[in-house]
Amino acid sequence: MLIDIAVILLAAKVAGRLMGRIGQPAVVGEIAAGVVLAAVLRGGDVAEVVLPGEVKDALHAIATVGLVLFMFTIGHEWNPRQLRNKGRAAVGIALGSTLLPFALGAGLAVWLAKTHYSAEPLMFVLFLGTAMSITALPVLARIVADRGLTGSTVGGLAVACAAMVDVVAWVMLAVIVAIGGGSSPWQMLLVVPYVLILVFAVRPMLARALSRFTGRGGFGSILAVLFLSAAATEWLGMHFVFGAFLFGAALPHKEEPAVRRQVEEIGTLCRTFLLPIFFVTAALDVDISGLHLDGLGELSLILLVAIVGKAGGSYAGARLCGLRPGEAASIASLMNARGVTEIVVLQVGLQLGVLDTRLYSLMVLMALITTALTGPLLTLVRRRSRWSGQEPLEPDIRQRVEATR
């Protein structure tokens, strides 16, 4: 197993570096490396020697821990303050970026249901609509930072909208999981008081406790509560990722420096060690060996729906809120980043039995391709905007957005 982990980490590092050199987020290379490694290790004598059953189980366990910690960091990075001073523009863009891809995804599900049987047609339609609505906030934020857009209004709007879209998508996914998980009605009803307890009881307690936690022992207690939160939502009939996300969101953002450093260390551990292992375990379920002409046709249709739905909805919302075409197109390009968040959602769908292996494989390829296209599309949009004399980051954008309130 140690050799397997070393190979996974080395492949992820090399692929991430290569992608970085051509202007792509490292996560694109890491996901691609996971798919390639999984294809090599799937089946046959090589798999039995290199990746026997007990090693595979151990990697899945490590990936589960990584997923809990990753969702914790995602929840903690989600800050309601990101929505301040964004007003109607953020809401309008987020609505467009959610509703149109959801509608197109639901329509696509009706067509795909003929060849990809699902025991629960309603769940299949709702899930595919939700999967098409995803935007990966961590990937988008990284692209915004790498392109020097962090201080711009367009960059700020994109990050704020991605945060809103992600929360809506997680809520929708929670409903789907509750429906498909066979939860009893009373279990589902307990989710509401659980969230209220996190917000109004646990969060204030954490705010007081964090001021006294200066060592790793104290933060170890926080991690223990994190895994209890993940276990609680799983017991309530939801996926454990929701408990991790909710606990991360409940952790106060005004922490002591020692705690802030430890949260950052968890993020670093996830990116460099745990997520590459998660990508490989997730990719073990990807099978592109039988991807013939009919499969390529389905992949093309999925890509068309994903890109047109997300970019079109974001662009329409931005234009309705007063942004110029170049500005709206910049945000539309950024919102197409799906990355690791999409992989997490697809894994949930596969575990629920909503997706079969073939459709799961196609959706993973869609997530990889749309994320890889985000940077080049943004570059193209900004170049065309300059050629036409319309700079996407006009200094008066804030006044025009404020005028739409």
Per-residue pLDDT, 306: 96
Q: Cα(353)–Cα(120) distance, rounded to whole angstroms? A: 9
3-state secondary structure of 139: helix
- Given a contact cutoff of 8 angstroms between Cβ atoms, the answer to whether 324 and 316 are in contact is no
- Given a contact cutoff of 8 angstroms between Cβ atoms, the answer to whether 354 and 123 are in contact is yes
Residue 182, pLDDT above cutoff 70: no
Sketch out the chain's domains with CATH numbers: 2-402 (1.20.1530.20)
Stretch among 150-154, 291-295, 324-328, 344-348 having the lowest mean pLDDT: 291-295
- Given a contact cutoff of 8 angstroms between Cβ atoms, the answer to whether 239 and 179 are in contact is no
Q: Cα(123)–Cα(327) distance, rounded to whole angstroms? A: 36
Q: Cα(349)–Cα(172) distance, rounded to whole angstroms? A: 13
Residue pLDDT, tens place only, 75-126: 887 766 656 665 678 889 999 999 999 999 999 999 998 888 666 788 899 9
289: its two tokens: 């060996």
56 — phi, psi (to 5°)? -60, -40
Instruction: Check residues 332 and 39 and name the one with the higher pLDDT.
Output: 332
Q: Which of 7-11, 136-140, 298-302 has the highest mean pLDDT?
A: 298-302
Q: What is the mean pLDDT of residues 141-168?
A: 83
Per-residue pLDDT, 176: 84
pLDDT-above-90 percentage for the chain: 26
Per-residue pLDDT, 290: 62
Per-residue pLDDT, 400: 52
Residue 178 Cα distances to 153, 159, 184, 243, 247, angstroms: 37, 28, 9, 13, 19
Would you tell me how many other CB atoms lie within 10 Å of the CB of residue 124?
25
Nearest to 314 by CA among 169, 108, 135, 87: 135
Instruction: Check residues 389 and 298 and name the one with the higher pLDDT.
Output: 298
Per-residue pLDDT, 56: 80
403 — phi, psi (to 5°)? -70, -15
Would you tell me how many other CB atoms lie within 10 Å of the CB of residue 17?
11
- Given a contact cutoff of 8 angstroms between Cβ atoms, the answer to whether 142 and 25 are in contact is yes
Q: Cα(346)–Cα(10) distance, rounded to whole angstroms? A: 25
Per-residue pLDDT, 393: 47
Stretch among 18-22, 232-236, 345-349, 398-402 having the lowest mean pLDDT: 398-402
Q: What is the mean pLDDT of residues 232-258?
A: 80
Per-residue pLDDT, 388: 52
Residue pLDDT, tens place only, 195-216: 888 888 888 887 777 666 655 5
Q: What is the mean pLDDT of residues 311-332?
A: 92
Per-residue pLDDT, 137: 84
pTM: 0.84
Residue pLDDT, tens place only, 345-356: 999 899 888 999
Residue 395, pLDDT above cutoff 60: no
Amino acid letter for position 70: F
- Given a contact cutoff of 8 angstroms between Cβ atoms, the answer to whether 306 and 345 are in contact is no
Show contacts of 374-379: CB within 8 Å, 24+ apart. Answer: 374/25, 374/139, 374/140, 374/143, 374/333, 374/334, 374/336, 374/337, 375/23, 375/24, 375/25, 375/143, 376/23, 377/311, 377/333, 377/336, 378/143, 378/147, 378/330, 378/333, 378/334, 379/23
Instruction: Check residues 233 and 306 and name the one with the higher pLDDT.
Output: 306
Q: How much is the mean pLDDT over the chain?
A: 82
Per-residue pLDDT, 98: 95
Q: Is 27 exposed, middle or buried (0-12, 13-18, 19+ CB in 10 A)?
A: buried
Give the end-to-end CA distance of the chain in Å, rounded to a whole number: 57
Residue 397, pLDDT above cutoff 60: no
Instruction: Check residues 222 and 405 and name the one with the higher pLDDT.
Output: 222
Per-residue pLDDT, 240: 87
Residue 280: pLDDT band with limits 50, 70, 90 = confident
Residue 35, pLDDT above cutoff 80: yes
Residue 394: pLDDT band with limits 50, 70, 90 = very low
Nearest to 51 by CA among 39, 61, 63, 42: 42
